[in-house]
Structure 1
Amino acid sequence: MPDDDNSPISARAAKQLFAGLKSAPALVLAVSGGPDSVALMWLAARWQRSFSRGPRLLVVTVDHGLRPEAAREAREVKRLATALGLTHRTLRWRGTKPKTGLPAAAREARYRLLAQAARAAGASHVLTAHTRDDQAETLVMRLLRGSGLAGLSAMARLTERDGIVLVRPLLDVPKAQLIATLKRAKISFADDPTNRDTAFTRPRLRALLPQLAAEGGDSRSLARLAARLSRANAAVEVLADGAERFLLLRDRGDAPQVGVRSFEAEAFALLPEEVRLRLLLRAVNAHGHEGPAELGKVETLLAALDQAVATGPRAPANGRAILKQTLAGALISLAGGRIHIRPAPARRSPKDL
């Protein structure tokens, strides 16, 4: 991308944005009608026309049923998509909307509907219009929530979700460049007032970003930080993979129990804390049945395990568990010098008692 954040994106730069997608059978473009996604649609259409046989493009607009203007905006997206020679579909999020956690629920519904549309169209990828500004906001949000290294890596350019590859080709592009691109092309776009609604966390933080930028924390530097943290996170993941192989090699003589992940406690204790944390998190998420475990709760569990392993010589030697806890639907125990993680018994409902 050019250094000037206010310059329109050239055809050559746009081609680089979609590099690697030319051989895909079909692509779904998630377009809400705002400037970012409209620019994504316009750039993708121009890129597709640059070669004779490229992927089919399907434009999908998700109407969450939360704003009366959404239906009109979807019609405007369809009108522009048709003018660009692209097929368009509007999908609706039906059913009762939650009273709390609405943004997260809407996001989950949107990705679920987009994945369904991709499978129906034979598309291998879904393209979203997340920008460098979105990346900076995500980093700040997760920083304030106390996220770990993986969370502070923010959004990845490629993510697998529901069997579909989610692509964010504009992740290094500032929003100002997209608006400049649309202005040069004389293409209008919708303004979603919820992007400024301070009842939600992201708009409140967005309003603070100019103050951070004045201190040097602009979207460019924040996105660069996210990229560096992502690089460090990938390195720690490689270390965790190696540590897992190390533990498996030590267990070669032991017959594994079906449905149970087991670590030799003393060998586990030799690993760096971050690696131990990741191995424990992987095992809990693999064997639990109540969704992903919270990082803070896994940290508390690891501290309890470390304490129990440290006091092992003073613990009963009759094979009884020194420690037994449940987390995210997994049962974690320390017994006989080993840490075991298995599915926890299902919780009994009050009517079963």
Structure 2
Amino acid sequence: MDDDLVAAVRTWFPAQAPQRIGVAVSGGGDSVALLDLLHRAFAGEGVELLAATVDHGLRPEAAEEARNVSTLCEQLGVSHTVLRWQGWDGSGNMQDQARRARYTLLTGWALDKGIELVALGHTADDQAETVLMRLGRAAGASGLAAMSPRRTLNGVTLVRPLLEQTRAELRSYLVQRGIDWAEDPSNVDRRFDRIKAREAISSLAPLGITVASLSEVARNMAQVRDALDWYVFLAARDIVSLDAGDVLIDLRGYRTLPEEIARRLLLHCVTWVGGGEYGPRRLAVAEAMQAIRHERPGALGHCLILRQGRSARICREYHFVKELEAPVSEVWDGRWALTGPSTPGAVIRALGPEGLIECLDWRQTGRPRQALLSSPSVWKGERLLAAPSAGNACGWCARRIGGDEEFYASLLSH
């Protein structure tokens, strides 16, 4: 059985394995099992394993657990790093903030170490619990697809090689191997929805609702999601064009799309322009879809929806960027890189009404006033130096990070 499990984990990675593979190890049974399995799976292949433990600073036991992981890594000859989070101020959703911080720390560590791929220890139980929780929120196909086996975040590929194994199987493996692990007390804390879902699955077994069946739902919904995304991609190629960081949707073509394809296309466009990790609520999306179909202005996800000829233009809403400022050497609004003449002290800001009034030829660009207000421009103090999108380049060029190709490619990535 042990050898079968090792072989199953190895299949998640390419035959020609990368030189370095990262693994997130909390000290719990799932991640400790993953560490040992990876160590065995890549023995003799010349792969360097590097492990990282995130200490959220929320439990006094966490430091000792990290030291235990370090000891295990030393026995295996695996480099180990402890990443500490100190960002929680006691307000908001602690679990959500800790999760975001964990991924930020892990991907930052990976990039710093030259690691392109990081393995995570999520199991079939985690997948099943996620599906059940999302059922409670009336999630659609994408939500019920739950955790993707593989995704890219911040330029790092995250892979979950244990999504087909249960916690019980992994703990049995560790017992046979004589390897200890730590139990997080939050795993029995009923204040958390995940623990309630874990208990609910046990009681739903007589109805056939089990870890195995819920995991199968996730796999089925992932196939549905991928099929829908393919048709969204085809629709985007037909009716979408990009201009100065904005998205233009052909109105006639949009009205002919099936409801779900139209909804997904709009969400992608808004996320592309406005950013944000989570999409807008379903009701707000439905209202924005109706605005487009009836050729009315609207707003969604920090974006404006404007009528422009036979198209709907989706642009950044000025209100959400008017206070943003970055040196010209840095990325502005998470989207824009500007290059031009060396100008010490210059910064990037939204053009705004005070800048637009200095761009006498802005109408010749064919871009609406509201869209240009939020466009990137170069300032030194209160003096406007350049506004590339508004026809006042003055030797400066504004480049949208990712470019047009990423807009289309990201429709098919998870």
Shorter-chain TM-score bucket reads: 0.7 to 0.9
In the superposition, relative to structure 1, how do residues 327 and 98 fare at CA in structure 2: closer, same or farther (>3 Å)?
farther
Q: Which residue of 2 aligns with 1:209?
A: 201
Alignment map for 1:186-335 (pairs within 5 Å) = 186-248=178-240, 257-289=243-275, 292-296=278-282, 297-306=284-293, 308=294, 322-335=295-308
Q: Which runs of 5+ in 2 are unaligned?
A: 324-414
Q: Contact 1:11–1:47 at 8 Å: present in 2 too?
A: no
Q: Partners in 1 of 2:219 and 2:275 — Cα distance?
A: 32
Distance 1:11 1:120 in 2: 33
* Alignment correspondent of 1:38: 32
- Partners of 2:277 and 2:125 in 1: CA distance: 30
Q: Give the structure 2 partner of residue 314 of structure 1.
A: none
Alpha-carbon offset, residue 13 of structure 1: 3.1
Render the CA deviation track for 1:76-110: whole Å, top value 9, x for unaligned. 11111111121111111023434221111101111
> Which has the bigger relative contact order, CA under 8 A and spacing at least 6?
1
Supply the distance in 2 between the matched residues of 1:122 and 1:185 (Cα, whole angstroms). 31
The answer to which of 183-192 and 324-333 deviates more is 324-333
Cα distance in 1 for partners of 2:316, 2:278 equals 13
Give the superposition deviation at 1:330. Answer: 0.8
Structure 1 residues 83-122: aligned runs within 5 Å: 83-122=75-114
Partner in structure 1 of residue 336 of structure 2: none
* Separation (CA, whole Å) in 2 of partners of 1:278 and 1:106: 28
Amino acid corresponding to residue 259 of structure 2 in structure 1: E
Contact 2:127-2:163 within 8 A present in 1 as well: yes
Q: Secondary structure at the match of 1:323?
A: coil
**Whole-angstrom distance in 1 between the partners of 2:287 and 2:166:** 39
Corresponding letter in the other structure for 1:110: R
Paired amino acid for 2:210: D
How far apart, CA to CA, are the structure 2 residues paired with 1:289 and 1:139?
25
Deviation digits for residues 15-59 of structure 1 (CA, Å, limit 9, x no counterpart)? 23122245212111111111101100111111122x2x3321111
Q: 1:302 is matched by which residue type in structure 2?
A: M
8 A Cα contact 2:88 2:94, kept in partner: no
Of 132, 135, 138, which aligns to 1:143? 135
| Contact 1:25–1:122 (Cα < 8 Å) also in 2 | no
Partner SS, residue 318 of structure 2? coil
Q: 1:85 to 1:294 in 2, by over 3 A?
A: same
Indicate if the aligned counterparts of 2:73 and 2:80 stay in contact, CA closer than 8 A.
yes
**Deviation (angstroms), 1:272:** 0.7
Kept in 1: contact 2:127–2:215 (CA 8 A): yes
For 1:188 and 1:291, locate their aligned partners in 2 and report how far apart those are by CA, in whole Å.
36
Q: CA RMSD in A?
A: 1.8
Structure 1 residue 186: Cα displacement? 1.2
Deviation of 1:260 after TM superposition, in Å, equals 2.5
Quote the offset at 1:151 in angstroms.
1.4
| Paired AA for residue 301 in structure 2 | A
CA shift for structure 1 position 295: 4.2
Q: Give CA-to-partner distance per residue, 1:121-176, whole Å, 9 cap, x none.
A: 21111111000000000111111112221111111111101100001000111111
Aligned residues: 319
> Does the 8 Å CA contact 1:289/1:330 hold for their aligned counterparts?
no
Q: CA deviation at 1:75?
A: 0.8
Partner secondary structure for residue 142 of structure 2: helix
Normalising by the residue count of structure 2, what TM-score does the alignment of the two structures yield?
Answer: 0.73
What SS does the aligned partner of 1:61 have? strand
Q: CA–CA distance in 1 between the matches of 2:288 and 2:203?
A: 38
State the shift of 1:290 in Å: 5.3
Q: How high is the TM-score relative to the length of structure 1?
A: 0.86
Output the CA distance in 2 between the equivalents of 1:205 and 1:139.
9
Q: Structure 2 CA distance, aligned partners of 1:192 and 1:257?
A: 50
Secondary structure at 1:94's aligned position in 2?
coil
Q: Secondary structure at the match of 1:204?
A: helix
